[in-house]
């Protein structure tokens, strides 16, 4: 299949449809509006339903109901909207429901701004909602990767009966890049014999539920979930190790920020200095092993984020005190400048060679 | 001659007494001679022969304790 | 011998957790009976949110979804849009529907979503221990209006049925009460009509049911029935506010 040039948000929507999405419930918020707009036009043509809800809260609860009824369903929003959906995401996780949530991140806190940011790391990896739940969180760095993940996301959600989040920043949503829609490797998906589609008099009632008033029942429910999360850690952790053969220093960044870091690495190569990059493609599960495998040549790790420092906590956990850790972050929609990163790298390497 | 017959699932009665007020022939009482597994004096019928089988007690009972039959 | 009344097959064998004399149980029976009489139990999905009905997924003999506080209409929307063949209903209390879920109930009516809502108005929060609800009457004492609700502080009780009757997509709106056998029979008729409306695809239907909360009203079940008649029925008049004929 040939490549097509598409705008990020529309490409995400098209990939979702090709990935088997049939139902979309959402509420307008910048900078992701092209996504639901595309869905409103294209989903009905593909035998699906688009519905604009009265709020983000209603939208995520429509997703809950639809997932419980067996629909392949998604919602999309941006940071403050995702904050509103967190309760619903917790319920979806608690009730073992498959759903896909797209978050095109903007700067916060509060109403914040509408420019690209990565300040949702904590809210998406730490379970913004209540309880001991986890969900795979994908953070693609370019549109092709975003599209590939979107086409796989519904299978992953169905496979684990779990919410899956796909995160981009405003840049991913707005940029245009050539893409190709490629079918993901098929997974063997479990039969949905648990959905509420009417007993038809042939089985006992199915109940979609996250309420367990008996303490031991709730603990057992949580323990079962932990087993599922352990499988996700084993099977779904994704990372790109770039120029990691013999780096003097390791950059770590995800999403579009990692592309700036690759430019920085290219600049250093001209000077004969090898800088590596660990680029998490999932931020939960976090690629801990990539950090354990950092070669002895490395003198430190520089975390680069479009936030005031959120992923850095996971990097510290993964590093476990081994290497010095530096940080460079911009926020509020400001993009990290390669020159600033270069200066920070040089500072960490002990001055210019 | 009784027209109806009322049967109570005594174990699940919560002793709320709502059935007493809706009985047109006033034959329902709380059985103070016994305490059920829930700890209540359950509803029972005295003078079953007066029962007209109207079903008022049964449709009022929130806990589906009562079955009513008519001859 | 003919059976005049027996426990509905639409209910499971589980014993209800409701307090003695609570009319939730009465309404549960009516919903179950209607689903059986319309022969739709096996394609029904009920949605119960938070409040005293939070555990009701164990009581109905059909597929059920437990929803977050106030969001049952949104959850029901999701179910119905995925599978329009299903008979989808919500069962919500006044804290749930009239307070935290006010937006969801308005918009499910506004969209004319083809679902049925059973709304229990007992003028108080039950599950959490008797706090003031939007439907609490003026002067009524609750744990958060200990000297009685006042207009100055909390406004007048919200008349949900009247409010929803102004929305075009709400094709059936009726307020009923379960204070007497006659009214219980009328309540069942209203519930049945609301479900029939869903089956014919006309739009959204809601039945507001004046109900008791003996525990949190601090009255015996029998006195609660009297209190409902003396206090709730004058403020919340019974009757049909919107029917399909009128909606046309």
A353 pLDDT tier (thresholds 50, 70, 90)? very low
**Domain end marker among A189, A221, A236:** A236
C105 domain-assigned: yes
A315-342 core/surface letters (b: 16 or more CB in 10 A; e: else): beebbeeebebbbbbbbbbeebebeebb
C175 domain-assigned: yes
Residue whose entry in the numeric block shows the structure tokens 């169905």: A158
Q: At what angle do helices A34-42 and A8-18 cross, to 10 degrees?
A: 40
Contact between C20 and C48 (Cβ < 8 Å): no
Task: Say how many residues make up chain B.
Answer: 71
CA distance B35 to chain C (A): 15
How many domains, chain C?
A: 1
Q: Domain of A301: which CATH number?
A: 3.40.50.920
Residue A247 sits in the same domain as residue A200: no
Q: How far apart are CA A36 and CA A25, in angstroms?
A: 8
Q: How far apart are CA C149 and CA C157, in angstroms?
A: 9
A141 domain-assigned: yes
Residue A231 sits in the same domain as residue A253: no
Three-point CA angle C233, C237, C238, nearest 5°: 95
Chains B and C touch (3+ CB pairs under 8 A): yes
Q: What is the pTM of this model?
A: 0.97
Q: Is B10 on the interface with C (CB under 8 A)?
A: no
Indicate yes or no: CB of C66 within 8 angstroms of CB of A207: yes
C210 domain-assigned: yes
Residue A225 sits in the same domain as residue A331: no
Give the per-residue pLDDT at A351.
Answer: 65
**Domain end marker among A218, A236, A254:** A236
Query: Is the confidence metric ipTM above 0.95 for this complex?
Result: yes
**Domain end marker among A236, A257, A291:** A236
Indicate yes or no: CB of C20 within 8 angstroms of CB of B53: no
* Cis status, amide bond into C158, omega within 30 of 0: no
In this structure, CATH architecture of domain B4-70:
2-Layer Sandwich (3.30)
How many domains, chain A?
A: 2
Residue A201 sits in the same domain as residue A277: no
Q: Domain of A65: which CATH number?
A: 3.40.50.970
Q: Is A273 on the interface with C (CB under 8 A)?
A: no
A353 domain-assigned: no
Q: Which residue range forms the structural domain that includes residue A313? A: 241-348
Q: Is A208 on the interface with C (CB under 8 A)?
A: yes
Q: Is A70 on the interface with C (CB under 8 A)?
A: yes
With an 8 Å Cβ cutoff, the interface of chain C facing chain B consists of 1-8, 11, 15-16, 18-26, 28-29, 180-181, 184-185, 214, 220-222, 225
CA neighbor of A49 nearest in space, from A39, A38, A57: A39
> Which residues of chain C neighbour B69 with C-beta distances below 8 Å?
1-4
> Which residues of chain A neighbour C11 with C-beta distances below 8 Å?
none
Residue A112 sits in the same domain as residue A81: yes
Tally C-beta pairs within 8 A across A and C. Answer: 139
**pLDDT by residue for chain C (248 residues), tens digit each?**
899 999 999 999 999 999 999 999 999 999 999 999 999 999 999 999 999 999 999 999 999 999 999 999 999 999 999 999 999 999 999 999 999 999 999 999 999 999 999 999 999 999 999 999 999 999 999 999 999 999 999 999 999 999 999 999 999 999 999 999 999 999 999 999 999 999 999 999 999 999 999 999 999 999 999 999 999 999 999 999 999 876 45
pLDDT digits (tens, 9 = 90+) for A133-190: 999 999 999 999 999 999 999 999 999 999 999 999 889 999 999 999 999 999 999 9
Which residue in chain C is spatially nearest to A50 when comparing CA positions? C81
Q: In this complex, which of B4, B9, B64 lies closest to C11 when CB atoms are compared?
A: B64
From the CB of residue B71, how many other CB atoms can be counted at a distance below 10 Å? 11
* Cis status, amide bond into C64, omega within 30 of 0: no
Kindly report the average pLDDT of chain A as a whole number: 97
Which residue in chain C is spatially nearest to B17 when comparing CA positions? C222
Three-point CA angle A94, A96, A101, nearest 5°: 90
Residue A47 sits in the same domain as residue A20: yes
Domain boundaries, chain B: 4-70
C45 domain-assigned: yes
Contact between A26 and A59 (Cβ < 8 Å): yes
Q: Which of residues 11-70 of B touch C (CB under 8 A)?
A: 12, 14-18, 20-22, 40, 53-56, 58-64, 66-70
From the CB of residue A71, how many other CB atoms can be counted at a distance below 10 Å? 26
C214 domain-assigned: yes
Which residue in chain C is spatially nearest to A200 when comparing CA positions? C42
Residue A257 sits in the same domain as residue A338: yes
Distances (CA, A) of C224 to B27, C94, C178, C208, C229: 22, 17, 11, 18, 9
With an 8 Å Cβ cutoff, the interface of chain C facing chain A consists of 12, 41-45, 47, 54-55, 57-58, 60-68, 71, 74-79, 81-83, 85-86, 103-104, 106-107, 110
C102 domain-assigned: yes
C35 domain-assigned: yes
Q: Domain of C144: which CATH number?
A: 3.40.50.970
Residue A184 sits in the same domain as residue A306: no
Q: Which residue range forms the structural domain that includes residue C86? A: 24-247
């Amino acid at each position: 299949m040939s490549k097509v040039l598409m705008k990020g948000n529309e490409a995400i929507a098209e990939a979702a449809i090709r990935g088997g999405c049939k139902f979309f419930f959402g509420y307008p918020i910048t900078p992701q509006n092209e996504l639901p707009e595309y869905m409103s036009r294209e989903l009905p043509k593909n035998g699906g339903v688009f519905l604009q809800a009265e709020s983000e809260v209603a939208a995520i609860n429509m997703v809950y109901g639809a997932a419980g009824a067996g629909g392949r369903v998604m919602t999309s929003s941006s940071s403050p909207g995702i904050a509103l959906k967190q309760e619903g995401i917790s319920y979806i996780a608690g009730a073992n429901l498959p759903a896909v949530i797209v978050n095109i991140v903007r700067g916060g806190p509060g109403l914040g701004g509408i420019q690209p940011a990565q300040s949702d790391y904590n809210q998406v990896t730490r379970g913004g909602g209540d309880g001991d739940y986890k969900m795979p969180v994908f953070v693609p760095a370019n549109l092709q990767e975003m599209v590939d993940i979107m086409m796989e996301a519904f299978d992953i959600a169905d496979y684990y009966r779990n919410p899956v989040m796909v995160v981009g920043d405003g840049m991913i949503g707005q940029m245009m890049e050539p893409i190709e829609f490629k079918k993901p490797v098929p997974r063997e998906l479990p039969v949905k014999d648990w959905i509420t589609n009417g007993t038809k008099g042939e089985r006992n009632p199915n109940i979609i539920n996250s309420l367990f008033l008996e303490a031991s029942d709730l603990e057992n429910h949580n323990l079962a979930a932990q087993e599922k999360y352990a499988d996700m850690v084993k099977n779904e952790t994704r990372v790109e190790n770039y120029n990691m053969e013999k780096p003097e220093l390791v950059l770590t960044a995800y999403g579009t920020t990692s592309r700036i870091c690759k430019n920085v690495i290219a600049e250093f190569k001209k000077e004969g200095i090898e800088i590596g990059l660990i680029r998490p493609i999932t931020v939960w599960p976090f690629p801990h092993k990539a950090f354990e495998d950092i070669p002895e040549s490395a003198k430190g790790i520089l975390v680069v984020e479009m936030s005031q420092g959120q992923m850095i906590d996971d990097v510290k956990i993964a590093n476990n005190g081994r290497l010095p850790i530096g940080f460079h972050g911009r926020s509020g929609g400001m993009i990290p400048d390669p020159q600033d990163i270069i200066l920070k790298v040089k500072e960490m390497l002990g001055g210019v060679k | 001659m009784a027209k109806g017959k009322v049967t109570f699932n005594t174990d699940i009665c919560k002793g709320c007494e709502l059935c007493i007020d809706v009985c047109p022939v006033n034959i329902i009482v709380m059985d103070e001679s016994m305490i059920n597994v829930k700890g209540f004096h359950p509803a029972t019928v005295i003078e079953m022969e007066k029962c007209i089988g109207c079903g008022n007690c049964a449709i009022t009972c929130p806990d589906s304790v009562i079955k009513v039959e008519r001859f | 011998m003919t059976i005049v009344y027996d426990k509905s097959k639409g209910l499971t064998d589980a014993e209800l957790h409701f307090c003695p004399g609570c009319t939730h149980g009465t309404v549960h029976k009516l919903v179950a009976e209607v689903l059986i009489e319309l022969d739709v139990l096996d394609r029904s999905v009920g949605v119960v949110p938070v409040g005293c009905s939070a555990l009701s997924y164990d009581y109905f003999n059909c597929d059920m979804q437990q929803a977050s506080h106030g969001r049952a209409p949104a959850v029901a929307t999701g179910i119905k849009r995925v599978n329009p063949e299903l008979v989808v209903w919500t069962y919500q209390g006044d804290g749930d529907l009239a307070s935290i879920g006010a937006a969801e109930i308005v918009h499910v009516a506004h969209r004319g979503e083809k679902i049925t809502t059973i709304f229990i108005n007992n003028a108080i929060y039950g599950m959490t221990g008797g706090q003031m609800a939007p439907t609490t009457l003026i002067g009524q004492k609750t744990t958060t209006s200990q000297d009685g609700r006042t207009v100055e502080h909390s406004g007048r009780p919200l008349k949900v049925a009247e409010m929803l009757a102004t929305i075009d997509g709400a094709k059936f709106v009726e307020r009923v009460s379960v204070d007497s056998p006659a009214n219980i029979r009328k309540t069942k008729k209203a519930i049945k009509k609301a479900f029939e409306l869903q089956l014919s695809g006309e739009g959204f239907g809601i039945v507001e049911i004046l109900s008791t909360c003996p525990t949190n009203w601090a009255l015996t079940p029998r006195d609660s029935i009297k209190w409902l008649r003396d206090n709730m029925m004058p403020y919340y008049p019974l009757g049909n506010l919107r029917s399909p004929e009128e909606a046309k």
